[in-house]
């Protein structure tokens, strides 16, 4: 008899986006003359940079020629040209990692969820509240218990390590989805110190690092002392370079990072993760890896930065709106998310904003209890829509 892995029975229904979709659909059907502006989207809307498209076209041409055709990639960890380009990218902002610590994947979500496979069921996983739901779901799926670190207004939505509790695996995300909060170096150092004291591993999700423009803020956990002893970093080209539909990301695992065996003997995380990937993953398409390589060229960086600047201009428009309204928010400066205090339960505000002003966002409570009373908007829409949505928000909130 085939039996389900127990963790799956403990998963909560993911109501958030289903519920949003249902409410919007019903509203649009009942009000076909009132166009809705979607400010809840976490997907990018600008197309790929030309240099990326050209690189992928060239690579597609190579795949059609006997001499340059490629089949399976031997290692499944990514071609050296891309792993070296990623290491060079880190170096460009002052972080030293080596190319053989970089593993190429099909996006941060896969590794972010799958990496929990490496850690035994008895590991206690720590996540923040509010949280990107993937960390919770993947931990629940493979039977781990979860503890939460509060991230609330009093701490600018950047959680601090709970020094009275012990964790084995810690998910951190900065710039944060959903709150837009970004860890300072000192805040991140506190997490690294805590992880080392717990002999824990931090899984650091830096999917939005490219949105950080303040040079005093760390773009990588490896900018912090001793992080190589306790952290894995997840990164992605999805938001950096518009790869949400193209699919490419990378995970950095320092060679010296250790976890522990049955008798407390230290084991290499990189070795075991490479072993896991060798058995369960056959790599990212050559064509996509060539496109990703182009992102890290000078021209690619310039073109991607233009796109990020477009989104961050939308974020600026949102921040100016909330500044003018005197409403507290986080994000929007070094992050494409703006997380603001909506003055009522999140779902009530969702309904009000949709019915009165035809603007859709994401209720903060969908990311955890501390999110209630907050609301997430994203900068990934068009400038026209952002300007119009903010005009409507001002009208609503001024009344
Ligand atoms: N991590 C965070 C914090 C995200 O918000 C997202 C996507 O929205 C991802 C990871 C997933 O990224 P990818 O498209 O690389 O799988």
Ligand 1 contacts CB of residue 113 (under 6 A): no
Q: Over 80: is that where the pLDDT of 399 sits?
A: no
* Residue among 17, 112, 207 to mutate when testing ligand 1 (max atoms within 8 A of CB): 207
- Ligand 1 mean position to 170 CA, how many Å? 17
- Ligand 1 mean position to 244 CA, how many Å? 9
What are φ and ψ of residue 31, in 5° steps?
-135, 65
Residue nearest to atom 15 of ligand 1 (CA): 107
- For the segment 305-314, what is each residue's pLDDT rounded down to a tens digit? 999 999 999 9
**Number of other residues whose CB lies within 10 A of the CB of residue 263:** 5
Q: 42 falls in which pLDDT band (50, 70, 90)?
A: confident
- Which two three-digit tokens encode residue 39? 């400010």
- For the segment 325-369, what is each residue's pLDDT rounded down to a tens digit? 999 999 999 999 999 999 999 999 999 999 999 999 999 999 999
Dihedral sign for Cα atoms in the order 112, 77, 201, 226:
negative
- Which two three-digit tokens encode residue 330? 């986080």
Q: What spatial distance separates the first Cα and last Cα of the chain, rounded to whole Å?
A: 61
What are φ and ψ of residue 226, in 5° steps?
75, 0
pTM as predicted: 0.97
pLDDT for residue 13: 81
Q: 253 falls in which pLDDT band (50, 70, 90)?
A: very high
- How far apart, in whole angstroms, are the C-alpha atoms of residue 167 and residue 145? 10
- Ligand 1 mean position to 264 CA, how many Å? 33
Dihedral sign for Cα atoms in the order 266, 142, 249, 317:
negative
- How far apart, in whole angstroms, are the C-alpha atoms of residue 229 and residue 233? 12
Ligand 1 contacts CB of residue 207 (under 6 A): yes
- For the segment 65-111, what is each residue's pLDDT rounded down to a tens digit? 999 999 999 888 999 999 999 999 999 999 999 999 999 999 999 99
Q: Over 80: is that where the pLDDT of 252 sits?
A: yes
Q: Over 80: is that where the pLDDT of 172 sits?
A: yes
- How far apart, in whole angstroms, are the C-alpha atoms of residue 228 and residue 220? 11
β-bridge pairing 266-268 and 258-260: antiparallel
């Amino acid at each position: 008899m085939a039996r389900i892995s127990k963790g799956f029975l403990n998963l909560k229904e993911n109501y958030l986006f289903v519920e949003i979709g249902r409410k919007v659909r019903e509203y649009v059907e009942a009000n076909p003359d009132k166009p809705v502006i979607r400010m809840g989207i976490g997907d990018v809307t600008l197309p790929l940079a030309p240099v990326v498209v050209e690189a992928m076209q060239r690579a597609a041409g190579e795949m059609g020629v006997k001499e340059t055709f490629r089949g399976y990639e031997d290692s499944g960890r990514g071609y050296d040209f891309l792993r070296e380009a990623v290491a060079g990218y880190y170096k460009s902002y002052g972080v030293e990692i080596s190319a053989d610590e970089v593993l190429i994947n099909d996006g941060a979500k896969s590794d972010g969820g799958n990496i929990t496979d490496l850690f035994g069921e008895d590991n206690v996983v720590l996540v923040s509240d509010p949280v990107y739901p993937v960390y919770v779901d993947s931990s629940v799926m493979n039977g781990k218990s979860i503890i939460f670190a509060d991230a609330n207004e009093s701490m600018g939505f950047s959680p601090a390590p709970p020094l009275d509790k012990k964790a084995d695996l810690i998910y951190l995300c900065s710039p944060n989805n959903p709150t837009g909060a970004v860890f300072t170096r000192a805040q991140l150092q506190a997490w690294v110190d805590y992880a080392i004291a717990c002999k824990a591993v931090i899984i650091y999700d830096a999917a939005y690092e490219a949105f950080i423009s303040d040079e005093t803020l760390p773009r990588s956990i490896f900018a912090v002392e001793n992080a190589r002893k306790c952290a894995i970093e997840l990164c992605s080209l999805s938001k950096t370079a518009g790869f949400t539909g193209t699919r490419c990301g990378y995970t950095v695992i320092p060679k010296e990072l250790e976890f522990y065996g049955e008798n407390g003997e230290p084991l290499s995380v990189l070795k075991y993760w490479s072993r896991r990937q060798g058995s369960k993953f056959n790599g990212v398409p050559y064509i996509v890896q060539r496109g990703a390589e182009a992102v890290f060229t000078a021209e690619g960086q310039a073109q991607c930065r233009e796109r990020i600047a477009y989104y961050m201009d939308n974020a600026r428009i949102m921040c100016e709106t909330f500044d003018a309204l005197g409403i507290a928010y986080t994000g929007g400066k070094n992050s494409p998310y703006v997380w603001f205090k909506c003055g009522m339960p999140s779902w009530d505000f969702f309904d009000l904003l949709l019915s009165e002003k035809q603007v859709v966002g994401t209720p903060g409570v969908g990311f955890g209890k501390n999110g209630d009373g907050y609301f997430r908007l994203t900068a990934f829409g068009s400038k026209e829509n952002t300007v119009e949505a903010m005009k409507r928000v001002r009208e609503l909130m001024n009344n």
